[in-house]
Chain A
Amino acid sequence: MIWYRRAILVFSGCFVLIGLALLVVTAANGGGLVGFVLGGLFVALGVGRIQLERKRGT
C-alpha cells in the first residue's frame, strides 16, 4: 500500500511537470489555446490526484 501511494505521487508529479512544461513552452512561443488547455489540464489532474491521495491518507 505504501508502494502504491508513492507510485501515485511520482506519477502525479510527472503529470504536474509535463503540464508546467506545456504552459511555459506555450507562453514562450507567444501563446496558443491548445497548449494552455492541455498544460492546465495536466497540472489540474496531477494536483487533484495528489490532493485525493492526501485526503485518503489522513
Chain B
Amino acid sequence: MPSRRRREVELERVLGTPALFATAYGNVGSSIYYALGLTAVYALGLTPLVFLIAGIVFAMTAATYAEGTVLYPEAGGSSSFARHAFNEVVSFGAAWAQMLVYVVTVATSAFFVPHYLSIFWEPLKTNPWDIIGGAVVIVILVTLNIVGVQEAAKLSIVLAVLDFATQVLLVLLGMFLVFSPTILVDNIHWGVAPTWSNLALAVPVAMLAYTGVETVSNLAEEAREPARSVPDAYKLVAGAVFAIYLTLPLVALSALPVKMIDGHLTTLLALPPEQGGYANDPILGLVQNLGLTGGILRVLEVYVGILAATILFIATNAGVIGASRVTYSMASYRQIPEVFRRLHPTFKTPVLSLVLFAGILPVLIILPGDVNFVGTLYSFGATLSFTVAHASLVRLRMKQRDSSDVFYRGRPNLMIGGILWPLFAIVGGIATGASFLVIVYENPTTRWVGLGWILSGLAFYVVYRSRFVKASLTHTVKAPPAYGPALALEYRRLLVPIVAGQPSDDALDVACSLAAERGARIVALNVLEVPLGRPLDDALPELEDAANDELDEAIAIGDSYGVRVLDRLVRARSAGPAIVEEAEQRGSEIIVLGTPQKTLTVTQRAVFGRTVDYVLRNAPCRVMVTAAREEVPA
C-alpha cells in the first residue's frame, strides 16, 4: 500500500530548491524590464557600475535573508526577523515598509505591462494609455485572486527558465553586435553626467532591480527542508542576477551611448518615449538598437515584448499575493485589525486586503503616470525593510552567542568577544541604511509620501494597540484562530509528526479525515534526530532518503483525501522539542501523533515513547494521540 501511494506523488508538489529559485528568479528577473531605464535616468554612463554596486549590496542582503529564513521559516521576511530580534513595534515598522514595497511592486510591474505590449499598439507606451492599461492589469489580477485562481508552479518554472535564457541570448547577441569598451569609457563624465547627487540616488534606485528578494522567505513556510533549499535558492538567484544585471547594462550602454541631446548629456535609455527614448521599455530599446533589421528584428521585438509583458504580469500577481500575505500575517499578530484577514464566505480569500492594498493603492500610485516617482518610492520601502533585516540578523547573532547548534550561517563572519559578527549583514545594513537616507534627502516627493506612509502607519498602530487590542506596543499578541460562525471546535492547521511505520500513517489518516471536512491544511513534520556527537548539518544520506520517502508518502495520503499536505524536514537533537517548536511557529491548533499498541521495534518504541510524552507535556495546543489498528490474523 505505501509504495502504491508513493508513486502517486507529483514531484512539483515538493517545494525544493528548483521551485524556490524559479519563483524568486521569476520575480527578481522581471525587474530588469523597468529598472534599467529608471536607473539610467540617474546613473547615465555609470549605469553598469551602479548595477555592480547594487548587486554587491543585493548579495549581502540575500545572505541575510537566507540565514534569517533558515532560523525562522515563516512568512514575513524582515518583519519576522525583527519580531524575534527586537520587538513587535519594530516588526510592525518592517512589515509596513514591506507592504509599501508590495504596493509599489504591483504598481510598477502593472504599469510596465502596456509599455511592452506597445509593439502591437504604439499609444500603450505613453500616458494615458499606459495608466489605463496598468489599472486594467491590476483589476484583472485582484479579481482573479479574489476568486481564488491558483498560480501554476510548472508555468512559473518554465517562464523563469525562458526569461533567463532570453536575457543570456540578448547579452551574447549584444556582445557580438554592439559591445564596445571604448564607448563605455567615453560614456563617463565624472561629476557632470551624472552629477554626484544623481549618482548617489542611482544606487538605491538600482535596488529596484532586485525586487522579489523576500519571495523565498515567504515561500519557506511551505518548503520541505528550508535549512538546505533556502540558502541554495538564494545563492543561485544571486549568481544568475549578477551575471545578467552586470552584462545587460554594458550592452545597453554600448548600443545607446551617452551623447548630447537637446543640450544635455544623456542616453536614449533615460529619455521618455515622447523624446524618442526608451525609459518606458528599455529592453525593447536595446533590441531595436542591436543593429538587426527586417524580419529578424520584428520577430525578436514581438518575442521580447510578449515575454516581458507576461513576466511582468506574473510579477504583478506575485506582488498581489505578497501584499495579501503580509496583511494576513500583520492581522494574525494583531498589528492591524482582524477584518483584514477575514475570508470571503464563498471564495475563502481575504477580499478587503486584496482590494485595498493590491488594488486601490497601486492604482492611486500609477495615476500620476510618473515612472521615476514609482521607482524612488519602491527604493524608499525596500531600503528601509532591508536595513531592518540586516539589523535584526546582527541582533540575533548577539543573542545566539553561546549557541553552537545553528544549522546555517551566512559568510563572512568575524569572531569578537564571543560573538560571531556577520560582516555581510553589518556592511549590508550600513549600505542600505545610507541608501535610505539618500532617498529621503534627495527626493522631496518620495520623502513626504514615504515618511507619510510610515508615520501614518505607526500612528494607526499606536491607536489600534492601545484602544482596541489593549496591549503593549512591544509585546507579541497572536490573534485567535479564525473560526467559522457555527463551529466551536474547528482545526484549520494540523501538525502530524511522521516516523517510519504504521503509527504515522494512521495518525495521518485521522488528520486527513478531520481536515477534509473543513478544507484545512496539514503540515507533515519529519524530524531527523542528529546525535549530540555529530554536527547538525552532518550528511546523513540514508536517513535523509528515508525521511524524504516518508514525506512523499504523506503527501500521497493527503492527495487521496483531497487534502493539501505541506511537508517539512527538520534536523534536531530530539524529536519532541522540534515538534513543539514547529507547532508554536506555525500556530498549529492540534498535533495528531501516532503511537503503537505493541508491535513496534525497540528503536521505534524508544523514540516515540519519550516523544509522545514530551509533546503531551509541552505542546502549545491540543494533542490527539492515535493508536494503530492491530492486524487481525486471517
Contact = CB atoms under 8 A, between A and B. Distances in A.
Q: Do A and B bind each other?
A: yes
B69 interface: no
Contact of B243 (A8, A15, A21): A15
Interface string A6-43: 01100100110110011001100100111110100000
B176 A7 contact: no
Given A14-B243, A32-B182, A25 B16 contact: no
Interface string B147-188: 000000000000000000000100110011001111011000
B549 interface: no
Contacts of A18: 168, 171-172, 175, 243, 247
A47 to B, nearest CB: 14
Contacts of B168: 14, 17-18
Contacts of A33: 181
A8 to B, nearest CB: 8
A38 B181 CA distance: 10
Contacts of B21: 7
Interface stretch (B232-240, B335-343, B581-589): B232-240
Residue among B17, B171, B175 facing the most chain A CB atoms (10 A cut-off): B175
B243 A11 contact: yes
Interface residues of B, number: 23
Contact of B181 (A7, A11, A29, A49): A29
A55 B21 CA distance: 24
Interface in B12-26: 16-18, 21
Residue among A3, A4, A33 facing the most chain B CB atoms (10 A cut-off): A4
B243 A22 contact: no
B304 interface: no
A11 B172 CA distance: 14
B590 to A, nearest CB: 34
Chain B at the A interface: SS class: helix
A35 B181 contact: yes
A11 B182 CA distance: 28
Contacts of A34: 181, 184-185
B104 interface: no
Contact of B172 (A1, A8, A17): A17
Contact of A21 (B16, B175, B239): B175
Contacts of A49: 239
Nearest to B239: A11
B95 interface: no
B176 A21 contact: yes
Nearest to B229: A4
Contacts of A29: 180-182
B38 interface: no
A36 B182 CA distance: 12
Contacts, number: 55
Given A22-B175, A32-B182, A38 B250 contact: yes
Contacts of A15: 243
B240 A25 contact: no
B180 A21 contact: no
A37 B332 CA distance: 52
A26 B181 contact: yes
B145 to A, nearest CB: 30
A3 B16 contact: yes
A22 B179 contact: yes
B236 A4 contact: yes
B55 to A, nearest CB: 13
Given A18-B243, A18-B247, A34-B185, A7 B171 contact: no
B58 to A, nearest CB: 16
B185 A32 contact: yes
Contacts of A4: 17, 232, 236
A6 B142 CA distance: 37
Contacts of B250: 38
Contacts of A14: 168, 243
Given A18-B247, A29-B180, A11 B175 contact: no
A13 to B, nearest CB: 10
A50 B172 CA distance: 21
A48 B364 CA distance: 48
B243 A25 contact: no
Contacts of B175: 18, 21-22, 25
A3 B259 CA distance: 46
Contacts of B176: 21, 25
Contacts of A21: 172, 175-176, 179
B232 A11 contact: no
A14 B175 CA distance: 13
A41 B181 CA distance: 15
A33 B180 CA distance: 11
B17 to A, nearest CB: 5
A44 B17 CA distance: 26
A28 to B, nearest CB: 9
Contacts of A35: 179, 181
B165 to A, nearest CB: 10
Contacts of B232: 4
Given A4-B236, A11-B240, A17-B172, A32 B181 contact: yes
B249 to A, nearest CB: 12
A33 B175 CA distance: 16
A23 B180 CA distance: 11
Contact of A3 (B17, B171, B239, B240): B17
A7 B21 CA distance: 10
A6 to B, nearest CB: 10
Contacts of B247: 18
A36 B176 CA distance: 15
Interface in B231-290: 232, 236, 239-240, 243, 247, 250
Given A3-B17, A17-B168, A32-B185, 10 more contacts: A4-B17, A7-B17, A7-B236, A8-B236, A11-B240, A18-B243, A22-B179, A26-B181, A29-B181, A34-B181
Interface of B: 16-18, 21, 168, 171-172, 175-176, 179-182, 184-185, 228, 232, 236, 239-240, 243, 247, 250
10 contacts: A11-B243, A18-B172, A21-B175, A22-B179, A26-B179, A29-B180, A32-B180, A34-B181, A34-B185, A38-B250
Q: Top 3 nearest A-B pairs by Cβ distance? A: A32-B181, A35-B181, A21-B175
